Each structure stands twice: as structure tokens, then as C-alpha cells.
Chains A and B, each alone.
Chain A
Amino acid sequence: MQHIRNFSIIAHIDHGKSTLADRFIQYCGGLSSREMSEQVLDSMDLERERGITIKAQTAALQYRARNGEIYFLNLIDTPGHVDFSYEVSRSLAACEGALLVVDASQGVEAQTVANCYTATEQGVEVVPVLNKIDLPSADTANAIREIEDVVGIPAQDAILVSAKTGIGIEDALEAVVSRIPPPKGDPAAPVKALIIDSWFDNYVGVVMLVRMVDGVIAPRDKLLFMSTRAEHVCEHTGVFTPKSQPRAQLSAGEVGFVIAGIKVLADAKVGDTITHLDRPATEALPGFKEIKPQVFAGLYPVESNQYEALRDALTKLKLNDSSLQYEPETSQALGFGFRCGFLGLLHMDIVQERLEREYDMDLITTAPTVIYEVMMRDGTLLKVENPAKMPDPSKIEEIREPIINATIFLPQEYVGAVMTLCNGKRGLQKNMQYLGRQVMLSYEMPLNEVVMDFFDKLKSASRGYASLDYEFKEYRAADMVKLDILINGERVDALSLMVHRANAPYRGRELASKMRELIPRQMFDVAIQAAIGANIISRETIKALRKNVLAKCYGGDISRKRKLLEKQKAGKKRMKQVGSVEIPQEAFLAILKVEGK
């Protein structure tokens, strides 16, 4: 066990985590150069495109250290986005150490800091690494100062590397051996294994990546899952190098995979503890949480006959994404679809994109919303995740909305713009700290404002330099109202949204005028109204089209005219009919497109 090191890499998107991981694998000979495609650890196309890791992966490496001894290094990959902070905490719980990778030219970012705090709280040894030192813009002195100021760990002896050119890779591996402690644990004690990650494989079922804390797991062992009390028989054990390689057993301190004939991902929850059925551990490892979606949206097929196909696609996605939730939902406007729950906006984006790309679905997505706690006059407490289902206001005592603690890192010059944005989003400033070149802003903000369009606006207010991290704080009473959109007098359920009463008039006006831009002129006038209850707060009219006719139609050649009409028809097919009005897909997300102050 003295020769085992379990570690992960903490880094902001684009700061070079995957490239560094690749260099380690290459250096230790985990893959031949032929197998070494760029960024091995990020396996999904989407991850590769967005440069982020969604599923944790691992590589067991053999490293001959400068002292001549062979060390077994387990590199545990961590997801790099705010939506997946729980997964990050589980990955870190499986490690004794972590490399904090910081881009020497850009400095520390919000994500990194949050993950570092998680790591230090869990007693994980953090080793600072400055990457991209080959770039002319690299400023190591500044980056070191930022790490010390912001993260609060000494960084004078940070390892200097360039994952791209290979400079310092051996130094980094050497630091893993010398500065990160070996695992502790008792192979003879009752089994305790932490599930770091789990995913579904078409051939073997659920594969679990585990960290053995105590004891030994081998094939044919009877396993007990402590949170679900499920029992399964171990079929295979092994490690990833990152290719999978069978091992006769996994023993305390090691990281590897366990396959136990499990058919559904829900039986192998991330963070759960595996033990032996015959000789169970007395208590589970700390930190297990049921992860709950925080952001909800309706997903509807553009063509109603695609409903079953959408259900199939969601079922398949869910196999590999236990945090995705969905249940059937019916909208008067959009027909049959699903209300889906996501960990956050990025998660929602990813699911949407995978449905469109991998399953070829044509989707209408409604504006994202959060869960509201609604205290009724009769004393019952409801949880409402669809504005259309908000009860009659006269029966409501109060509405409580989720509040988050948001931490934003940004360069000084954008502080003014970002503060204006946060205030406009009903944010309450808690703290502001100048840290070298950067400023850290802490706000309490309603999650509802963040899911709307906060990311995009933050990006544009800071020219892409701000980074955001947030965590749920509490539910808090707020004067929320349901804003409805009526089209030709008909309430369109899929367009309803919750807004703060103070913002309602502005939101209503903006939304109605955006809808007017997005809905094409039709054969009749279309009235768009924004309303709170029976109270109309804004009205726009789309004047009727006067005519739509081909002036000249020579009986001779009909083919070109036919093509034109077919094109018009195809355009219509992609719209949703609400009453007699044809509404294009993008109108359902109009609220996200409102240019705001």
C-alpha cells in the first residue's frame, strides 16, 4: 500500500487538465502511441467539443520513480463543471491528493477554488501545478500569488509544466509520489468501497468505479449496497489503464472497477458504500447524498408522432445518466412531452444536444424553471416545478424560491458591469475581495434568475472572463407571480413563467415584444398579451399578412412553383399550432432571448 497513490486533477475548463492526464498516461506507457488519441480521458464527443469532462474516468499507471521504485498511481478524473459538484466531491473523497492545475497566464478561476475548498475540507493534499508555462503570456509569479491569496495554500514550490510540450511532466509525477500520502486502510477489515462513478455498458450492465477503503473484493463475493440495501454478486474486478484489465481482486487502498450484473444505474448510486453481505461494515462511508435535479424544463417533440421515439431516447440516456429525471407531461400547446429535471443548465444543454445529435430528435424546449415551495392557506406544502401547475394565487399563503450562494471570479475591469447584472437579477452582495488581478464577488441570488439567462449575460458582461460557482443555500419567501402569455386570447401553458412581482411589467413587455419578432405574420391579426392573472400588463399585435400568392403561374412549367410551395410547407411543419396560430420553435425559448438591461 506504501506504493499506491490515489490522486485527481483539479482544473478549470481549458486550463489543460485532459492534456496533462494524457501526458501522464503516455509517460507511464498506459497506451501505445497508436492508441493515444488526443485527450483519452474525455470519451464522449460532446465532452471533447466542450473541453469538459462529464463522467469521471480513471487510469491506473505504473511509474518508476527517481528512487528506482515502482509506484502504482491511480489518476481519478473529475468533472469540471458547477452542475457536477457532487460527483467532484465523491471523486475527491477517493483520493489522498490532488494536483491543482492553474493556467499560468490566466490565474485562478471560481470553479477551481470551489473544488479546492472541497478537497481541503476532505483532508486531501493539494499540490499546485502551473500549466502552459511555455506561453509568452505566462506569469508564474502572479499565478503563485493568486493561489496563495485565493485558495490559501502555499504555492512557492508549485510544479511548472507545459502539458503541451511535455516540460515538467516527470516533476509532476515525482511530486505525486513524494508529496501525496499513500492510502491508509485495512485489507482484513470488513469491506468498505466507495462508488466514485457508475455507468451502463451494453454488454456487461452497470460498471462501477470504486475506491477500496477497507477489505478485499473478488469475483463471486456477495455484495451489499448500503444505501439501497440491494444485493448483487460480484462478477468481475479490474482496473483501467485506461484500457480495462481484469484483476483477481481489489484490495484496500486501490481504485478499480467492479461489475456485478446490475441492470439499472439507480442500484449503483455515486457515493454509496459497497460492503460484504456476509460480513458487513458497521457504518457506511460519509458524504452520500441523493442528488436531486434543480432545473426543470419541458421537452416536446416538434412532430407529435415522435413522442415514443423521445421516450426511447430518454430511457437510453438515463441508462448512463442517473441524475436525469423525466416524467410524461401534457401541454395544451405542445401536446405530449416530458418534464425533465437536470442538475443545472449545462446538464440540460448536454441532454438536449445528445437527444438532437445522437438520437436525431427535433425538440421544442420550454424555458427552464426551478422548484418552488408553495405554502398553501390550508397548511399543506407543495413543490411546483412547472409554472403552469402553480395553484390559484388566492389559495397560496406564500411562495418560496431556492436561493443560492454564488461566487464569481472576474478581472477587475468588469466588476461594475457584473455587479449591475447581479443587482438586476435580485442578487444580494455578500462579499467582495480583491485578489491580485482578480476580484471575487459573493452574492446570494435566486436560482430562478440564474437559470433564465444569467450565464450568457455574465459572459457578455465580462467578455467571457468571469467564472461562476454556486451552491444551494435555502428556500426563501419571495413575492413571485405567474406571468402568462396569451395568444389571441388563449393562455399558452408552455409559455408561462414565474417572475418576481417587481420585474413582472418589464419581463412581460420584453417577452411580448420578443414574441412579436419571432412569430411570423399570419392570415389574421395575432394578439400577444402578457398577463398576471386577469391583469393584462402588455399587448403586442402582429398585423395580418395581406396576401401570400404566386402572381404569375405559367401552366407550362410547374416544377419551380411547386418547389417554392413545398419550401413554404416544410417551414410550417416545423411550427407548433396553438389554436389557429403557427408558432415557431424558438418562440418557446423567447424568454431566454430577451435582451436585457
Chain B
Amino acid sequence: MTVSVMAPPRAGVHLSALPPLSLYVHLPWCVKKCPYCDFNSHELRGSLADDVYADALIRDLELSLPLIWGRPVYSIFFGGGTPSLFPAATVDRLLAAFRARLPLSADCEVTLEANPGTFEAEKFRDYRAAGVNRLSIGIQSFNPGHLKALGRIHDDSEAWRAIEIASKHFDNFNLDLMYGLPGQTPAEAEADCAAALSCGTTHLSFYSLTLEPNTVFHRYPPDLPDDDVAADMQEAIEGRLAGGGFTHYETSAYAKTGLECRHNLNYWRFGDYLGIGAGAHGKLSFPDRILRQARFKQPGSYFDQLGRGTAVSEEHEVSRKDLPFEFMMNALRLTDGFPVAMFTERTSLEITAIAGVLDEAEAKGLITRDHERIRPSERGQRFLNDLVGLFLENDDVNSNIKSQKINISFQK
């Protein structure tokens, strides 16, 4: 008699080495919420309680220390919200507190997101002095009409002024720009591109404006260029930036050689990050499991829950069957893809476990590969959603990861 039994899924993972660790610090306040923004940001009412929040962040980090004992920190990123609302002295206090509690690697990249307003720009020198070594400025556009349409509180002259100050104090700074804006023509997108190239930046993030759920733009959609025009803009931008010496190294990121954003690269290489602050997300690896965490989003509840012993609102272990998708969703954003060995190192799965999907992706012309590396093809980059979608859990292709079917025969 033959009986088919499903073996229990081999739970957990077995990592031989832990990936680099980054620290993300979320500062959730803005002067005004932008109509396209779907991040966890809150309009500031009254004065900023920066010291109280800094205390909370330090408390949050201390409670998290047991999860990352002894691991060097490879990069720090102050994101928001608008981190540049915070006084330089508070940023200085935070960095000092981090240094005291964490071993920062010698070349640790420390980025702070800044709004190009006059009020913020005046603080750039002091941020640099506090230890921030990379600035990311949310320019979005150099066109005053488009800045208005985006609901930004700065204008073009403030943008230029902020860049001038930044370039005085930072040898490494990024500009965030968007294309496909309400009423934008391809010529206007190229003009933004030319302006960015003229100002000495080392890194550019050029995003296509998308209407995200739960935003004002989603409820009241502005008139955007259609998909084909947006695609034309994208191609024109890629061409111009390549001509300006920028390498297109990730879906929306361009950098001068060697000045890719280390912090973001760590995300895209499926590295670890501890996220502290209201609404921050984290991903942490252990020899036998990979955790994802999220913290309470509302600053009020974040303070309350932290006072009760943890700010974590959600925590779950990433299952083996979800790992290929999560890895690919990040790693295939990189133009250069990833070394085959990195997949096994970060997920503890053999590459053969996803051989079928990789074959399919290759057959569709979405990836190129050799024994060393797997890269998205030019088509794969443009159709990244279709490519990554292949790795979503699928009963047919992932069965060899989820469980193994064993035939047991015995005599009666």
C-alpha cells in the first residue's frame, strides 16, 4: 500500500552570515502634507517637540538593542516627513547617542532628507558639523508652476538657494526630482533634468509621479501626461543623465561613479535595517529567521506604546516561500542585478529552488544571467512589475520550497 504524505514545511531559514545592517530614523512631521504623498507624515500643529521625540527615539533604539547586539552599522538615514524641521543640535544629540550605543562602521554614510526652504537651508552647515555626510534635498522640480501644482511650499529660487548652500558644505548630496507632473511637457521635464545636471549634485532620484491610494491626488486626480508621454520623458531623462556622467543604477536612481546611496543599496541588496521612530519599518536577520517589524504610525500612539515597553505594532517572520519574491522585488531594481551567491547568502535558499521561474523570466526576455550574476534585461527594467510578479508565491513553481511530497510504501 502506498500513502502520500505531505512533509511539514521546513520552517525557518539557516543563514550562514548576516547581511550589513543599516539604521533608519523616521521623523514624521511636515509643515504641510503634499497632495501626492502617501508616507507616514503628519502636519505639524504648534511647535515641534524635538527633544521629547529625540528622547523617544533613543529609548526606542535601546529597547531594540538586543536584536542587533554587536553588529556594526553600515549607514544611517534620517527620513520623513521633513527631517530638516529638526534643529541641528537635536540631530547632533541623536548621532551622539547612536555612536554611544552602536558600533558605527568607519565609512558610515549618514543621510538626512531636507526640504529646500530658506529656514532649512540655513541649518545645512550645522548638520554637516553634527556628522551628517550626505544630504537628500526634495527639489521635485525647478519649474515654479509645477512646484505649485505639486503643493510644495518652496519655490524655484528657494530651490536654487538651497542647492547653493548644500554644495558649499556637502561634497555628496542628492536631489529628489519628479517627472510626469500635472500639465508637464517633455521639454519641461528635460529642462528640469538640465537644471539638475548644472548644479553639482552627485546623485539624482528621478521618480515618475504616481497617484497613490489615500492621497489627495488619488481622490482628485490632476491631469497627468499619459503613459506614452511619461515613457518618452523617462527615456529622454535617461539619455541626458547618461550624457551628464550619471549611471542609472536602480529603477529611479542615478549616481556619479562610486557615489551610489549606500543606505538604499543595502535595502535593494536585501540587507538588514532597524527602523526607529513612528511608523518606521525594519527587517532584521538572525541565523534561523528573518523578521519584519513596523512601529505605531501616529506619533501619539508611538509615544504611548513606547512608554509601555515597545513601539512595535507588528512583527512577523518572513516565511521561506515569501523569500524569493521579497529578495527579487528589491534586488531586480538594480541595473546590475545581483550575484547568484548573494541570493543564497541572504535567503538560505538554493538558486535551484527558483530555477523554473528564472527560466520563465529568461524565456520572456526579462532577465539575463550567467553563473555569477542575474540581471534584469532592458525589458525587465521597464516591465519590472511583470518580472517581479513571477516570483510571487505560486502553487506550481514554489512547491519545492513549501514542502516536499514523499511516498512512503509499506506492507500490510
A interface residues (Cβ-Cβ under 8 A, vs B): 523, 543, 545-558, 561-562, 564-566, 568-569, 572, 580
Q: Are A547 and B231 in contact (CB under 8 A)?
A: yes
Q: Are A547 and B383 in contact (CB under 8 A)?
A: yes
Q: Are B385 and A552 in contact (CB under 8 A)?
A: no
A549 CB contact (under 8 Å) in B209, B228, B283, B383: B383
> Which 10 pairs show the lowest CB-CB distances between chains A and B?
A555-B267, A546-B231, A556-B281, A549-B384, A551-B208, A547-B382, A548-B385, A551-B207, A557-B281, A569-B389
Report A-chain residues with C-beta under 8 Å of the C-beta of B24.
556
Which of B85-93, B131-139, B142-150, B325-333 lies at the binding interface?
B325-333
Q: Are B381 and A549 in contact (CB under 8 A)?
A: yes
CA distance A568 to B384 in the complex (A): 12
Q: Are A523 and B251 in contact (CB under 8 A)?
A: no
Residues 193-214 of chain B, each 1 if its beta carbon lies under 8 Å from chain A, else 0: 0000000000000011110000
Q: Are A553 and B386 in contact (CB under 8 A)?
A: no
CA distance A548 to B266 in the complex (A): 24
Given contacts A546-B231, A569-B392, contact A556 B207 (CB under 8 A): no
CA distance A561 to B326 in the complex (A): 11
Q: Are B268 and A548 in contact (CB under 8 A)?
A: no
* B contact residues, range: 35 or more
Q: Are A556 and B264 in contact (CB under 8 A)?
A: no
Q: Are A546 and B388 in contact (CB under 8 A)?
A: no
Residues 227-262 of chain B, each 1 if its beta carbon lies under 8 Å from chain A, else 0: 110110010000000000000000110000000000
Given contacts A551-B207, A555-B267, contact A565 B385 (CB under 8 A): yes
Least CB distance from A427 to B in Å reads: 44
B329 CB contact (under 8 Å) in A547, A556, A562, A572: A562
Q: Are A553 and B333 in contact (CB under 8 A)?
A: yes
B326 CB contact (under 8 Å) in A558, A568, A580: A558
Least CB distance from A430 to B in Å reads: 53
A-B contact list, 18 entries, CB within 8 Å:
A543-B228, A546-B227, A546-B230, A546-B231, A548-B385, A549-B383, A549-B384, A550-B251, A553-B330, A554-B39, A554-B267, A555-B264, A555-B266, A555-B267, A556-B281, A557-B294, A561-B329, A568-B386
Q: Does B374 contact A (CB under 8 A)?
A: no
Least CB distance from A524 to B in Å reads: 9
Report A-chain residues with C-beta under 8 Å of the C-beta of B230.
546
CA distance A572 to B273 in the complex (A): 33
Least CB distance from A422 to B in Å reads: 43
Which of chain A's residues has its CB closest to B205's CB?
Answer: A552
Which of chain B's residues has its CB closest to A523's CB?
Answer: B383
CA distance A562 to B280 in the complex (A): 17
CA distance A384 to B169 in the complex (A): 82
Q: Are B385 and A566 in contact (CB under 8 A)?
A: no
Report B-chain residues with C-beta under 8 Å of the C-beta of A564.
385
Q: Are A565 and B252 in contact (CB under 8 A)?
A: no
Report B-chain residues with C-beta under 8 Å of the C-beta of A546.
227-228, 230-231, 234, 382
Report B-chain residues with C-beta under 8 Å of the C-beta of A558.
281, 292, 326, 329-330
CA distance A563 to B76 in the complex (A): 28
Q: Are A549 and B329 in contact (CB under 8 A)?
A: no
CA distance A554 to B325 in the complex (A): 15
Which of chain B's residues has its CB closest to A521's CB?
Answer: B227
CA distance A409 to B228 in the complex (A): 52
Q: Does B275 contact A (CB under 8 A)?
A: yes
Which of chain B's residues has its CB closest to A563's CB?
Answer: B213
Q: Are B386 and A548 in contact (CB under 8 A)?
A: yes
Q: Are B384 and A545 in contact (CB under 8 A)?
A: no
Q: Are B385 and A549 in contact (CB under 8 A)?
A: yes
CA distance A572 to B387 in the complex (A): 13
Report B-chain residues with C-beta under 8 Å of the C-beta of A555.
264, 266-268, 273, 283, 330
Known: A546-B230, A555-B268, A568-B385. 15 other contacts (CB 8 A): A523-B383, A523-B386, A547-B227, A548-B386, A549-B251, A549-B382, A550-B384, A551-B252, A553-B329, A555-B283, A555-B330, A556-B282, A557-B294, A558-B281, A569-B389
CA distance A206 to B100 in the complex (A): 85
Report A-chain residues with C-beta under 8 Å of the C-beta of B207.
551-552
Residues 273-316 of chain B, each 1 if its beta carbon lies under 8 Å from chain A, else 0: 10100001111000000001010000000000000000000000
CA distance A73 to B117 in the complex (A): 92
Which of chain A's residues has its CB closest to B282's CB?
Answer: A556
CA distance A557 to B392 in the complex (A): 17
B275 CB contact (under 8 Å) in A549, A556, A562: A556
CA distance A545 to B379 in the complex (A): 11
Report B-chain residues with C-beta under 8 Å of the C-beta of A545.
227, 383
Given contacts A547-B234, A572-B389, contact A556 B280 (CB under 8 A): yes
Report B-chain residues with C-beta under 8 Å of the C-beta of A562.
325, 329
Which of chain B's residues has its CB closest to A565's CB?
Answer: B389
Report B-chain residues with C-beta under 8 Å of the C-beta of A543.
228
CA distance A336 to B17 in the complex (A): 49
A548 CB contact (under 8 Å) in B292, B330, B384: B384
Report A-chain residues with C-beta under 8 Å of the C-beta of B333.
553
Q: Determine which residue in B267, B325, B389 has the highest number of CB atoms from chain A within 10 A of its CB, and name it.
A: B389
Q: Are B326 and A550 in contact (CB under 8 A)?
A: no
A552 CB contact (under 8 Å) in B234, B252, B382: B252
Which of chain B's residues has its CB closest to A548's CB?
Answer: B385
Which of chain A's residues has its CB closest to B381's CB?
Answer: A549
Which of chain A's residues has its CB closest to B391's CB?
Answer: A565
Which of chain B's residues has its CB closest to A547's CB?
Answer: B382
CA distance A561 to B392 in the complex (A): 12
Q: Are B382 and A548 in contact (CB under 8 A)?
A: yes
Report A-chain residues with C-beta under 8 Å of the C-beta of B292.
558
Which of chain A's residues has its CB closest to B283's CB?
Answer: A555
Which of chain B's residues has its CB closest to A561's CB?
Answer: B329
CA distance A267 to B127 in the complex (A): 91
